[in-house]
Amino acid sequence: MYQQIADEIRGQIVAGDLEPGAKLPTEAEMRSAYDVSRETVRKALNLLVNEGLVVSARPQGHFVRRREPMIFRPQTEFRKRPHSPEMDAFATEHSAEGREPRQVIEVAIVEPPAEVAKRLQLKAGDLVAIRKRVRYLDGEPFNINDSYFPLDIVRDSEIMRPEDITRGANEVLAELGYRQVRALDELYVRMPQPEEVKRLELPPGTPVGYHITTGFTAEGRPVRVATTVLPGDRHVISYERGLETPGEEA
């Protein structure tokens, strides 16, 4: 029964009868409209909140969720190419032009999480340096970027200072004798952990992309693992491909 209520409202939202930002009826109104108890109404609303369609703004009521401006995340391999007109248009549409960027950096020495230790091929007990960044645009957080380095190669380097490295941490690694020549990228889709919810101010019903890059030197040694948490409501990941070898897309 609460599912039916949710279905009805969801239908109005996807059909556009209820526009983003529109106020939903109050719980009391829905209770009498459907002749059910308050808890039943709340279960229906809860469904929609967890689907990311509705937000609750106490005590103003429930609202159809607005779509955040999407941030364009081009994959670097493709940035060097001359862009096609379509790609240009796409980039322009999702540009962050005119928005005010800011970042907060923390640096620490920690025992790495298992998934990082594995990718850096560390032994138990080995420590890593971690640079944790939260990036903001117009004061709103839009992604978390944590980079891990084996402690023995970055100790006492610039990487340990909690400041912006304008030429890039990769360049510093290269100066230390560990130039990365290739990277393995993995992208997972999952629900955020509570800490990520807090750091990114994620509304309920917002999944994240979890991007892990492992950078290797020419000798095949992994020297950097970067994890990026991308809130799904604020990011499009995009790239352009040549299709010299057409094949069915898997």
Partner DNA sequence: CAGTGGTCTAGACCACATC
Partner DNA sequence: ATGTGGTCTAGACCACTGT
* Residues in 143-182 at the binding interface with its own copies, rule: CB under 8 A: 145, 165, 168-171, 174, 179-182
Among residue numbers 26 through 45, which ones bind DNA (CB under 7 A)? 26-28, 35-40, 42-43, 45
Identify which of residues 29 and 102 has a Cβ nearer to its own copies in the complex. Answer: 102
Query: Which of 16, 60, 139, 242 contacts DNA by CB under 7 A?
Result: 60
- Mention every residue, 6+ apart, whose C-beta is less than 8 A from residue 79: none
Identify which of residues 24 and 226 has a Cβ nearer to DNA in the complex. Answer: 24
CB of 5 vs DNA, minimal distance in Å: 8
Identify which of residues 96 and 151 has a Cβ nearer to its own copies in the complex. Answer: 96
Please tell me what DSSP assigns to residue 128: E
Residue 141 structure tokens: 């957080």
CB under 8 A, 24+ apart: contacts of 219-224: 221/121, 221/178, 222/119, 222/120, 222/121, 223/120, 223/149, 223/150, 223/153, 223/173, 223/178, 223/180, 224/147, 224/148, 224/149, 224/169, 224/170, 224/173, 224/180
Specify the stretch interacting with its own copies by CB under 8 A; choose among 23-31, 54-62, 104-112, 188-196. Answer: 188-196
Site string for its own copies, 28-57 (x = CB under 8 A): ------------------x---xxx-----
For residues 174 and 165, give the distance between their C-alpha atoms in angstroms, rounded to a whole number.
13
Contact between 107 and DNA per CB under 7 A = no
Contact between 132 and its own copies per CB under 8 A = no
Dihedrals phi, psi of 20, to nearest 5 degrees: -55, 135
Specify the stretch interacting with its own copies by CB under 8 A; choose among 23-31, 55-63, 73-81, 155-163. Answer: 73-81
Site string for its own copies, 206-225 (x = CB under 8 A): -xxx---xxxx---x-x---
SS (H, E, C) 151-188: HHHHCCCHHHCCCCCCCCHHHHHHHCCCCEEEEEEEEE
Among residue numbers 97 through 126, which ones bind its own copies (CB under 8 A)? none
Query: Which of 11, 20, 21, 61 contacts DNA by CB under 7 A?
Result: 61
Residues linked to residue 62 through DSSP beta bridges, in sequence order: 56
CB of 117 vs its own copies, minimal distance in Å: 15
Dihedral in degrees, nearest 10, Cα atoms 143, 172, 185, 238: 50
Specify the stretch interacting with DNA by CB under 7 A; choose among 55-63, 183-191, 207-215, 220-228. Answer: 55-63
Measured in whole angstroms, the distance separating CA 130 from the mean position of its chain's CA atoms is 19
Contact between 56 and DNA per CB under 7 A = yes
Nearest one of 4, 73, 79 to 44, comparing CA atoms: 4
Q: Contact residues for DNA (CB under 7 A)?
A: 1-3, 24, 26-28, 35-40, 42-43, 45, 56, 58-62
